[in-house]
Structure 1
Amino acid sequence: MSGFKTVMLLSALTALFMALGYTLGGSGGAMIALLVAAGMNLFTFWNADKIVLSMHNAREVDAESAPEFYGLVRDLAQRAKLPMPRVYLIDEPHPNAFATGRNPEHAAVAATTGLLSMLSRDEVAGVMAHELAHVKNRDTLIMTMVATIAGAMSMLANFGLFFRGGNEENGHGNMLATLMAVIVAPFAAMIVQMAISRTREYGADAAGAEISGNPRALASALEKISGKAEMIPNHVAERNPAAAQLYIVPVHVSELFSTHPATEKRIAALEEMAGGMAIPAPSAPRASALSPVATPTRRRSSALDPTRR
C-alpha cells in the first residue's frame, strides 16, 4: 500500500508540474513541462548520488581512513542483506545523515561529523540502519526525484510570475490565473512532497530498527539530534530547501510544514516496537568505543571523530 501511495503522489506531483506549464504556456507549455519532468527524472536516475554528495561536499571513506565507522556500516549492510554501499563523511557540525543512489547496487550513505561526535556507537548504528532501510526500500531515488521536481516547479513558478504576460483580449484574467498558479502549484507540490517523505520515514524507522535490532537506540538518537539540528545551521538546506527531506531529522521547526513526521511520534512508535521486541530500557547512558570521549584517561582518535580531537 505504501508503494502504491508513493506512485500516486509522485504522479500527482508530475501532474501539478504539467498544470503549471499549461497555465503559463497552454497545451504546448504542458507538453514541455512533461518532457522536462521526464528529462529531469531520467537525469536524476543516473546522477542522484553525485548530485546530493556534491551538494554536501561529502568525502568518501574506507576501512583505512575510518575503520570503525566503515566497519559499522558494513556490519549493518550484511545484516540487512544489502550490497556494501559507499560510505561518506561530511565535515559539518550539523548532526544529520542521509542515503542516496538509484538502487541498492549503487547506493551511498553519509553522516556528518557533528552527528558522529554526538552519539554513542549504538545510536550511530540506529541512525545508519535507518539510512540503509531507505536503500533497501528503494526510497532514495524516489525522494531525490521528488526534490528535483519540487525545486523545478518553484523555479518555473518564479519565472512565470515575472515573465508571463496576458493577451490583449483577456490580459487581466490570464494574469490572475498566472498569479494563482505560481502561488498554489508550489504550495501543493510542497504538500505532496511532505506526504511522500513522511510515509517513507515511518517505514525506514521500522525497517532500520529491525536491521539494528534495537529500536530504542534509534529513538535515543532521534531525541538527541532533533533539537541540535534545529539550532545548528544547515547551509545546504538553507540554499536548497527541497533537500530537507533527505535527512533523518527535519531542519524546520513547524510540524505542519515539515518533511518529516513529528520526532515525538517517531520516538513513540519506536518505543512501542521495542516493547513488542521485549527490549529493556537502558539503565544509564554510557560512553561508547566510537565516542571521542570513550576513554577519558587516555584520549585517542576515534573513527567516528574524523577531526581527531
Structure 2
Amino acid sequence: MNKGLFISLSVIILGFSIFFILGINTAPAITYFPDDEDSSFTSANSNLELFLPKGNDSYQLAWTTDSRSDKEMYLRQDASLLFDNGRLRGVRSKWVQDTDHIQIEEKLVSEDSSFFQVISFHHGEIHYPNEQIKSIRQMSADHLYVIDSPNTSLDAFKTPENEFESEWKNLLNRTTKQQLLYHWNRLFTYFDISGESYLSVPLTSLHKYNNEPLPTMTRDETNKIMGQLWEGLYKNYIIPAVNTENNQLQSYIPIILFDKQNQHLLVLFELNAKKYKLIQQYAN
C-alpha cells in the first residue's frame, strides 16, 4: 500500500462531519397490506454516480432512485437512505397518488475518500372495491467508492478495474466495517443481546431478500416480513431522522437481527445519541 493510502486513512477515520437530510414529505406513512399478485414493479433502481468536481477540496455526488409499476396506483411511495463510510448521510422520501412512476434526484457536496451505500424501498398501494387494499414492494441498492486523495486525481468506481482501485476498495471496506462493528457491539452490549441467537444483516444488505427467502422461510413469508419491517423503519427511524436538525444528526447503519427460531426480528440502531431496539413479532 502506498503512502497516499495511509495519509488518507487518517482523514477517513475522522469522517466528514456535515450530514444532509434532504427534503421529505412524511405523510402518509408506509403501511403494509397483503401482496397483490396481479400487480408488480416493471423497474426499481437506486444509483450513485460522481457528478462533477465542485472545487479543489470537494466533489458532487448524484443520488437517484427510480421506480415504475405496471399500472397507476392509488398511492406510490419511495424511501431512500444514503450512508457514507457507515454513517447516515441523508434520507429522501416521496409519495404520489394516482401514478405509476416515482423518481428522486439529488446532488450533494462531499469531500474526502468515501464508501457510499444507498438502500431504497419502493412501495405501491392498490385500492379495490369493498375497501380491499393490497400492496406491492421491492428494494433496490447501489454503492460507490470515491477516491479523493491529495496524491491522486479524483476517481470513482463501483467495481475495481486495477490494483490501485482494489487497494482502495479494501481500505474503505475495512475502515467502514471496523467502525460499524464497534458501533453494533456497543448496541449488543447495551441491550444484552447474544448475537449467536440471530442472523445479523445490515440494513444496506436487505435488498438480497428481493430474490431469496430468509433461512427456513418461504418466499411469501419473507415478503410479508420485509413489508412490515419497512413499515416500522419508516415510522421509527426515517421520520425521526428527518425531523432532526442537519447539524445534529448522528446515526450509523442499523443492524437487523432475525431470530433463528423464526419467532421475531430486532432492529438495533442509535439516533442522535439515543439507542433503540425495535421488536417485530412474526404473525402466524
Q: Which interval holds the TM-score relative to the shorter structure?
A: under 0.3
Taking structure 2 as the reference length, what is the TM-score of the superposition?
A: 0.27
Of Structure 1 and Structure 2, which has the larger fraction of its residues in strand? 2
TM-score, length basis structure 1: 0.25
Structure index of larger Rg: 1
